[in-house]
Structure 1
Amino acid sequence: MEISRKLRSNGTVLAAVALLTAAVASGLTGCSGDESDSRSGRPPSADEGRPAALKRYYEQKPSWRECGVPGFQCATLRAPLDYDHPDPAEDLRLAVARKKATGPGERIGSLLVNPGGPGGSAIGYLEGYAGIGYPAPVRARYDMVAMDPRGVARSEPVRCLTDKEMDAYTQTDQTPDDASEVAGLTAAYKKFAAGCEKRSGEVLGHVSTVEAARDMDLLRAALGDKRLNYVGASYGTFLGATYAELYPDRVGRLVLDGAMDPTLSAERTNRDQTGGFETAFTAFAEDCVDRDDCPLGTRSPDDAAKRLGALFARLDRDPVPTGDDRRELGEALATTGVIAAMYDEGSWQQLRAALRSAMAGDGGPLLRLADLYYEREDGKYANLMYANPAVNCLDLPPAFRTPEDVKAALPAFRKTSPTFGEGLAWASLNCAYWPVPATGKPHRIEARGAAPILVVGTTRDPATPYVWAQSLATQLSSATLLTYDGDGHTAYGRGSDCVDNAVNAYLLDGTPPADAKRCT
């Protein structure tokens, strides 16, 4: 159900099969003034003294222990709940993991990774992919490190609904046809928000991207690194860019893959992303109609889109069984399943089979794609879908505040995406009922004085449209743009030797590729 504002790299879901925020550019909301140089407005350099109130946090030494996956170590980092009013009695405990550099070659330092979301587990990403799947030369010379951001997974996770309640929530009709269905949708959003407030307490007001970026600086200091080296995917690019703006002189080698544009409002971001999914579906449809097993016909991509729309309409009227007595496949879950497969073209075959089954009256395969998206396993949900709106609704003012606002915007969303526009417009109403007011707003991120930063964009990325990468690379004063001409969400580690070689060279040597370099 929460689709339009969830950005994450395929590594957390589809390859196992994550939106955005902001703060004021000239003085980021949530940034404590006591850490800034009064003359420049910037935080002090890594070698300067710390404010007394934060000294204890910056002087932490992690106590590493073997844990979980062999070869990985875990530790806990303390961070203030509220950076403006740090109180040891309210400290958050943030989970950290690492896999030490394997050699050969001289160790460069630590490389922090984040897969996006917001709400994707960075530790899960490290243990399941980055720590074993990143190119060997990178793992040889970096300690691979991850920290679940505040409110996420193992770091004081936000909670909102019971698993049974979440099952009902994901089935809520998201394309209301009358006043009764509009009331049902708004009631679902209100119940979700109230559950988050009840089950998450004060942490709900302190999970912004600015605060998560400040936590990253605590981790940098705890690791003994003067500068932060980082690979962020999808929403992780906004987290990394926010760090660069807060601490430009502490930027090491930053890779921002599947980049976001921090200048956009929530409405514009959601509409752009809706268009990204339409672009990805068109690519899927073009591939599908050339195959003998295409369940959407073999005439044209436009005809395939009409057939998918007809399937959605039929499921809206008459859901089909899935093999789960508590859940039928209606339009909402079917849409989620289709969108899940848009993140990675490697899932297109699975989607063709799932659509064929749904058309024959078996919704199970398409439901399984939706479950992968929602991180639902054995009837239980990870906290991704709770942390995601918690961060988003703090980071930007709501896209819409009333159902009437959505209705006014429907023509623009439908024009942007005939396939997904209506549902994703209504999905953009969720933050209207959030119990904590937003602390951020759209702004440019320039990070003047930062070392060279590498921005990576994919031309047919469904979740973070390529124009966002172009925009962010233009904003960041020291950025270089690397373009991957292809499909799928994010580019590094997804099969392009050209992309991987360029990113590896930057991480290992500090030299970004030539600006405007394109890979296929």
Structure 2
Amino acid sequence: MLHAHRWLATAIAGLAMLPGLPAHAASAAPTWCPTVPGHQVECDTVSRPLVQADPALGTVDVAYALIRRSAASAPAAGTIAVNPGGPGNAPIPLTGFYTALLEPLLTDHDLLLVDPRGTNASGALNCGLTLDTLAGRAAVQSAVARCGAVLGPRSRGYTATAVSDDIDAVRARIGVERLHLIGQSYGTYLMQVYARRHPSRVASIVLSGVLPVDADPLQGPGARAFPGMLRTVCERSAGACDADTAVADLRTFATRLRARPITLVVPDPGGGASRTVTFTEGMLAGLALQNAASSNRGNPATIGVMGRFPAMLHDAVRGDYGRLTALAQRLWPGRGGDINESTASAMGCNDFPVLWRPNAPLTQRARQYGRALARTAPGRTGPFSPEATGSARYGFGDFCLQWPKVKGVRPYRPSGTAPDAPVLLLSGDLDANTPATQAAQVTRSFTRTRQIVLPNLGHLVDFERSGCVTGLVSRFVRTGDPGSTACSALIPPLKVEPVTP
């Protein structure tokens, strides 16, 4: 699961629902329907079977908002469907973000926002789950198991296949022949599933922060790339840190934590009581692979997590954990923005690849997982141990080890024919969450692809402030070609916290 990058919190800050014209007919609009100045907005729901093969499990109402083009008197040039990822994120609450990102297109293109089943206005799930990384991986696994038990057989309805079919049902409802698909993070996974299930309905695809459908459960690509990213940060830091030293500190501290975790007293970022935490190598890997990837969204005035890593590591190898304690606050429960953690767990545990037999009894999975770790090739997980990367992130590794077996549900495997449509893949060169090597892997799944790696950006590049990414995406949707990438040279390097000698 990708949601620990916390990008929603950034998106919502300053990009709340836009005030303006009434949505559709004001008296008939549901309370969740957004308003967008200068645009008519039509909101409704489509009733969908929770599980197609089991009508007894009932239905779910899937909510959508259709933002009409401002030039309403002319035919639409196309309809853009978006998904912000998570899994467990919903696009309707992010109307402001998407209308800003796609503003150059909204004069003559319609924008379709479909809340995935189990989120926001589409029957939000609640299994009582709060994921607490600081409590340790065993506590996380137990919480996930309890969630699955509460959902019971209804958990079968929460898969990328079902969500992609929901999107297509909405497409049919609004009478559109083809969609321009835009996905971020886990949304790139979802849009790949949609493209293979409904290839004739795809006009183009934009994937930002790309997750392959056969992603490595141990996060090998990101783990292997992270030392190089740390080196790049220092090489661009104007002397704030030394590249060789930063990489050596990373390896030294990871090795120490592997042998002996440390105790930290982590303050509550919300002002409550502090917690005493056993900080492990897996937690360090989580900070590196999830949180550091957020960089600073292209804002040179702020220091992102990656910009704090070299100084934090240098202090830590000398036994000073002050900077580490501050960064560990990012692992505090409830820091995931508006992500529905119940839905996120169900989607991740139903769909993502695992290192045990999916139909194995729960009592056997741990042994199978342990044998898979023991067989892990040297170097697959970079400077971290396989045990660390396997416990570093929601949805991957051992996260779903105790998720109840669900009859008829297995990890997703691609099938069907990919559409012959143009595909644009966007990556930040400082994104260890969904590194550019993963996007390169996905290019082989389509026939007409263009990959762009943008400097000084992490996960996700859509927050870049100069308008470069907005321009690339808009030109691509309009023409099938993003045009020149010269604007990327103007994206400033990260601001880096100086390392104390």
Does the TM-score normalized on the shorter chain lie above 0.5? yes
For the residue of structure 1 that corresponds to 2:61, the secondary structure is strand
TM-score by length of 2: 0.73
Question: Is 1:409 matched with 2:391?
Answer: no
Name which of 141, 145, 169 aligns with 1:189: 141
Q: How far apart, in 1, do the equivalents of 2:295 and 2:463 lie?
A: 14
Aligned to 2:127: 160
Write the distance in 2 (CA, Å) between the matches of 1:413 and 1:391: 30
Match of 1:370 in 2: 331
Aligned residue identity for 2:341: M
1:321-340 equivalent positions in 2, closer than 5 A: 321-323=266-268, 324-325=272-273, 327-331=275-279, 335-340=285-290
Q: What SS does the corresponding residue of 1:482 show, helix, strand or coil?
A: strand
Q: Report if aligned partners of 2:254, 2:284 keep a CA contact under 8 Å in 1.
A: no
For 1:471, which of 411, 429, 441 is the aligned residue? 441
Query: What is the Cα-based RMSD across aligned positions, in Å?
Result: 4.0
Aligned residue type for 1:279: A
Tell me the equivalent position of 2:89: 120
Residue 2 of structure 2 is aligned with which of 6, 9, 14?
Answer: 6
Give the number of the structure whose residues are more often helix, by fraction.
1
Distance 1:103 1:218, change over 3 A: same
Offset from partner CA, 1:78-110 (integer Å, 9 cap, x none):
2111223446x8210223234332348753243
Is the 2:81–2:181 Cα contact (8 Å) retained in structure 1? yes
Aligned to 1:390: 346
Distance 2:117 2:169 in 1: 13
Equivalence map 1:87-236=2 (5 Å)? 90-103=58-71, 107-127=76-96, 129-131=97-99, 133-161=100-128, 163=130, 166=131, 169-174=132-137, 185=138, 188-198=140-150, 200-236=151-187
1:482 aligns with 2:451: yes
State the secondary structure of the residue aligned to 1:386.
helix
Q: Does the aligned pair in 2 maintain the 1:484–1:518 contact within 8 Å? A: no
**Do residues 245 (structure 1) and 196 (structure 2) align?**
yes
Q: Deviations over 1:148-203 (max 9, x none)?
A: 2112343223333355xx4xx422334xxxxxxxxxx2x651442123321x3443
User: Structure 1 residues 298, 214: closer, same or farther in 2, change over 3 A?
Assistant: closer
Equivalent residues in 2 for 1:283-432 (5 A)? 283-288=229-234, 300-306=245-251, 308-309=253-254, 316-323=261-268, 324-325=272-273, 327-331=275-279, 335-346=285-296, 349-351=303-305, 359-361=320-322, 365-371=326-332, 374-375=335-336, 382-396=338-352, 398-400=354-356, 401-403=365-367, 405-406=369-370, 408-409=372-373, 412=377, 415-419=380-384, 421-426=386-391, 428-432=397-401
Aligned pair in 2 of structure 1 residues 191, 234: CA closer, same or farther (>3 Å)?
Answer: closer
Structure 1 residue 130 displacement after superposition = 1.0
Question: Does the C-alpha gap of structure 1 residues 93 and 364 become closer, same or farther in structure 2, counting only changes over 3 Å?
Answer: farther
Distance 2:4 2:76 in 1: 29
Closer/same/farther in 2, CA of residues 517 and 84 from structure 1, 3 Å limit: farther
How many angstroms does 1:120 deviate by?
A: 2.0
Letter matched to residue 195 of structure 1? C
Gaps of 5+ in 1: 18-62, 175-184, 377-381
Q: Is the 8 A contact 1:161 1:192 kept in 2?
A: no
Q: Indicate the larger mover: 236-245 or 417-426.
A: 417-426
With over 3 angstroms needed to count, the CA separation of the structure-2 counterparts of 1:278 and 1:415, relative to structure 1, is closer
Q: Percent identity?
A: 20
Q: Secondary structure at the match of 2:122?
A: coil
Cα deviation per residue 1:427-479 (whole Å; 9 max; x = unaligned)? 512223211337344645563554434344455532223233223222224x3
CA distance in 1, matches of 2:79, 2:344: 27
**Do the aligned partners of residues 278 and 329 (structure 1) sit closer, same or farther apart at CA in structure 2, a change above 3 Å counting?**
farther
Alignment check: 8 A CA contact 1:459 1:483 kept: no
